[in-house]
Amino acid sequence: MRKISPARNSRPFDYAQPGDRLHCGKVSIAALARRHGTPLYVYSGDQIVERLGMFENAFRGRNHLVCYAVKANSALAILKLLAGRGAGFDIVSGGELERVLASAPEAVGRVVFSGVGKTAAEIDRALETGILQFNVESEAELELLAARARRMKRRARFALRVNPDVFAETHPYISTGLREHKFGIDIRRAPEIYRRTARSKWLEAHGISLHIGSQIRSAQPFGAAVERVSRLARQLAGEGIALKTIDAGGGLGIDYHSRAFDAAEHVREYAAAIEKALGGFEGRLLLEPGRFLVAQAGALVAGVLHVKSNGKKTFVVVDAAMNDLIRPALYQAHHEIVPVRRRSGRARAVDVVGPVCETGDFFARDRKLAPLEPGDLVALLDAGAYGMAQSSNYNSRPRAAEVLVESGKARLIRRRETMADLLAVEST
Ligand SMILES: *Cc1c(COP(=O)(O)O)cnc(C)c1O
């Protein structure tokens, strides 16, 4: 994708004048931190809705459905917000299905179920609730699906998740579209599998799906992958197997570094590449964006506990840690860090670290930041995707609270865990 020049702040966090305090819309981050404590996740519901609108707009000429990838951020309030705007969901577990049912049961007919290891119990529950489509990742899974469908006397709509063997430039842990990856079925085997199921009473060949990876910044690999599956869909249609959906997966990336990121333009380029690749396909296009809808809407707010020097290096120890946001430790990911109260003074290179007993527990290394003191607050930006969703209780740390800001109003959507919550499920 070409570099975007307009200086548009792609984040919903900004310094309000006067006072130089970080705000999310009209809501003061410092006030939220005082009220709910830190570490604290803050999300802009307005930006999430705006991002969904960018997809709706870019694909408005086509029969399509945006199925938000729940795993990026599975907060019930966010699922409800998106379902209310017409979104469907891409789930990867029975647990995520229960989250959709708990927040927006009316949207269950807009759910696609992905994942390489679905269990019989998960399949049964999804059949019973009437999801839109199973994205099947192996022949063994398709057999299991047929067996469960027969048992439940419910016809199962499936799409084969094919592996288009397209390379997408991203971190190796989140690249999924090559033959060497565990995901999907070799696209060369797919036609035979569709033919075999054509007469099945319990399986309906409903669509074809792919997902080539995450945090992909160029539109080109999406176009290449969709072109391969739409060619296959045309071939199958010629044989009398008319698929109703092409699922182009998720994976559209954001810019974690720059403020000037034109999100709408990115979606338009992505849409253009997919449109071109779809050719004359007349069915429904499914899209599974996760990160793109929620990442930049969220920040993780942390308090500075200590500033310590060991001769060469300065460490800013904050009260958030890798258990709250693991992306830097897991993917060497970059998150911008900004002070909640803008500070003057010369920036110097520091490491921003958490209290967890792991050298990998850092948020930034040799990052130039204006001087910070104990008691200050900082915000880690672009933390709305794969932040809270990947959090854990490592080091017996209760998980953070979450706040959603919508049209100038903030509300707590998840209270901070207590030690009593953690201990309740254990016995000695
Ligand atoms: C993770 C995942 C997505 C979402 O990926 P993003 O990079 O967050 O857009 C979509 N579809 C499937 C099958 C996934 O596994």
Q: Given pLDDT bands bounded at 50, 70 and 90, which one contains residue 45? A: very high
Alpha-helical segments (H) within 239-299: 263-278, 291-294
Check pLDDT > 60 for residue 7: no
Average pLDDT over residues 383-412: 98
Q: Is the pLDDT of residue 8 over 70?
A: no
Per CATH, 13-43+296-423 and 45-290 having the same topology is answered no
Work out the average pLDDT over 108-123: 97
Give the nearest ligand 1 atom to 92 CA: 15
Q: How do residues 201-223 score in pLDDT, each as one tens digit? A: 999 999 999 999 999 999 999 99
The stretch 56-63 carries a mean pLDDT of 97
Mean pLDDT of all residues in 61-66: 97
pLDDT band at 173 (very low <50, low <70, confident <90, very high): low
**Lowest-pLDDT range, 110-119, 158-167, 185-194?**
158-167
* pLDDT of residue 1 exceeding 50: no
Ligand 1: nearest atom to the Cα of 71:
1
Ligand 1: distance of its center to the CA of 249 in Å?
6
Among 90, 137, 331, the mutation site with the greatest number of ligand 1 atoms within 8 A of its Cβ is: 90
Residue 321's closest CA among 292, 375, 362?
362
Q: What is the largest CA-CA distance in the chain?
A: 73
Least confident of 241-245, 311-315, 383-387: 311-315
Instruction: Look at residue 320 and tell me whether its pLDDT is greater than 60.
Output: yes
Residue 358: the pLDDT is 85
Ligand 1 pocket, Cβ-based, cut-off 6 angstroms: 69, 71-72, 90, 92, 114, 211, 214, 249-252, 288-292, 385
Q: Provide, rounded to the nearest whole percent, the portion of the chain with pLDDT above 90.
A: 87
Using one digit for the tens of pLDDT, what is the confidence trace for 19-28?
799 999 999 9
- What is the pLDDT, as a whole number, of residue 83? 98
pLDDT band, residue 175 (cuts 50/70/90) = low
Q: What is the pLDDT of residue 357?
A: 86
The pLDDT-based confidence of 5 (bands split at 50, 70, 90) is very low
**CA 289 – ligand 1 centroid, Å:** 6
Q: Does position 2 have pLDDT exceeding 50, yes or no?
A: no
Determine the residue of 211, 246, 247 to mutate for testing ligand 1's pocket, defined as the one with the most ligand atoms within 8 A of the Cβ atom.
Answer: 211
Per-residue pLDDT tens over the stretch 253-306:
999 998 788 999 999 999 999 999 999 899 999 999 999 999 999 999 999 999
The dotted CATH code for 13-43+296-423 is: 2.40.37.10
Q: Where are the domains of the chain?
A: 13-43+296-423, 45-290
Neighbours of 121 (CB within 10 A): 10
Say which residue the tokens 């050298």 belong to: 359
Mean pLDDT of 378-397: 98
- Name the residues annotated as catalytic: 357
- The 10 Å CB-count burial string (b at 16+, else e) for 192-209 is ebbeebeebebbbbbbbb
pLDDT in tens, 79-104: 999 999 999 999 999 999 999 999 99
Whole-number Å distance, alpha carbon 6 to ligand 1 midpoint, is 28
The secondary structure of 88-144, three-state, reads EEEECCHHHHHHHHHHCHHHHHHEEECCCCCCHHHHHHHHHHCCCEEEECCHHHHHH
Q: What's the mean pLDDT when you consider all of the chain?
A: 94
User: Exposure of 427 by Cβ count < 10 A (0-12 exposed, 13-18 middle, 19+ buried)?
Assistant: exposed
Residue 4: the pLDDT is 38
CATH of domain 45-290: 3.20.20.10
Residue 274 contacts residue 224 (beta carbons within 8 Å): no
Please give the share of the chain, as a percent, with pLDDT higher than 70: 96
Residue 162 alpha carbon to ligand 1 centre in Å: 15
* Candidate from 288, 292, 294 with most ligand 1 atoms within 8 A of CB, to mutate: 288
